[in-house]
Amino acid sequence: MATWVSGESRRKRVRVLLFLISFYLMPLIPFSCSAAEMPISRHKLEVQNHLKRLNKPAVKSIKSPDGDIIDCVHASNQPAFDHPSLKNHTIQMRPSFHPEGLFDKNKATTKSEQSSNSITQLWHFSGRCPEGTIPIRRTTKDDILRASSVERFGMKKHTTIPQPHSVNPAAINPGGHEHAIAYVKGDKYYGTKATINLWKPNTQQPNEFSLSQLWVVEDSSSQDVNTIEAGWQVLPYFYGDNNTRLFIYWTSDSYQSTGCYNLVCSGFVQTNNQIALGGSLSPVSAYSGSQYDITILVWKVKTNVSIYLRDPTDGKWWMQLNDSVLGYWPSSLFSYLADSASMIEWGGEVTNTESFGQHTSTQMGSGHFPQEGNGKASYFRNIQVIDGSNNLKAPNGISTLAMYATCYNILSGNNSDWGNYFYYGGPGRNPNCL
């Protein structure tokens, strides 16, 4: 038999039921909301943790016109000291010895050439870093996400050991790297100096690059090549743009697990507070117009030459840009290169991904062949090496190598103003390079 219940009683029962439900479920609501949130993936955590390691606390931050953020980090807190062998390292602020040579100062320039001293970095228009700090280009999440992996960020691929180091143009190059270089080998070298023409070559694909650099190489073991590298590059997948940027690189194991670009790993000790590795260079050369260049010197004091020349801290490979010393690579980073180099190389390099089955149209140098000459083709000039007496001298027996001369070529020469020099580069894909 059904029991009659008044409307008021039903409403009271509903209110009581709702109260009980809310009473028991209220503690679960925060938990439910939290669980509903999108969980942070392991990859995102890796990226966040890597950013924390790379981006050191800044004394001052500067927004560059090209979008970069330059952090002024206390010199004692720079990435170099994350390296196990540099935990108790004391910074040496200046080298004990500079090599001397024929082209220590830039000679008078022609109308189409401009002094290297007029070169600046774009972030300089927004400010400078104070004494006691070093400028570091801030790494962003997007920078890391463009890399093949978090672990390999800032490193070359395993397969990209530069084939010119074998000086064998017929060698198979699985990394698609193509070079037009000059080189010397067969002696002990303690550094090099060269003036490098600045350009902004076009790259066809974001994962291709174009660079011009010098290599200091010891390749006593093909599986353990040691290199120190410096120059300029256009590297979209690393920087996120097509700007011409200053860079360094090093490896002690054929690019397998050591070394990196600039300061994205521990190793290079920077002492300069005005030059940012990875920073954009400006201005660059124009075809049939003004020409701009930079001078790079990399050297190591040979400590057994004389007690008076001996470096008390021993074993540093120093780098200088124009008249500014940037810092050094401690010899503890290297195996064979801890003493000297057996090969020096200068020139251009590009990557060719052969998109759509065709050779890339990524340019090397100015994007024009060396036969076009000054103001049109890119150059290296005043090329010197450092001998066992710590002197800069003209290299003996310079050889050249163009792996694919119909795509990128090289022509060398010598005169009283430019010493040993060469023009190099090319457009990549063209009717003779398919």
Q: In angstroms, rounded to a whole number, what is the distance separating the alpha carbons of residues 316 and 314?
A: 6
**Catalytic residue (choose from 113, 178, 208, 349):** 349
Angle at 295 (CA atoms; ends 215, 242), nearest 5 degrees: 75
Residue 395: cis peptide before it, omega within 30 degrees of 0? no
Burial 280-317 (b: 16+ CB within 10 A, else e): bbbebbeeeeebbbbbbbbbbbbbeeeeeeebebebbb
Enumerate the β-bridge partners of residue 240: none
Enumerate the β-bridge partners of residue 410: 424
Angle at 36 (CA atoms; ends 35, 40), nearest 5 degrees: 75
DSSP structural state of residue 389? T
Q: How far is CA 375 from CA 138, 245, 271, 366, 397, in A?
A: 35, 21, 34, 9, 27
**Catalytic residue (choose from 113, 178, 229, 345):** 229
Q: How many CB atoms lie within 10 A of CB 346?
A: 27
363 — phi, psi (to 5°)? -85, 150
Q: How many CB atoms lie within 10 A of CB 393?
A: 14
Helix (H/G/I), strand (E/B), else coil: 332:
helix
Q: How far is CA 14 from CA 6, 20, 38, 420, in A?
A: 13, 10, 35, 96
229 is catalytic: yes
Helix (H/G/I), strand (E/B), else coil: 10:
helix
Minimal CA–CA distance to 216: which of 98, 71, 385? 385
Catalytic site positions: 229, 349
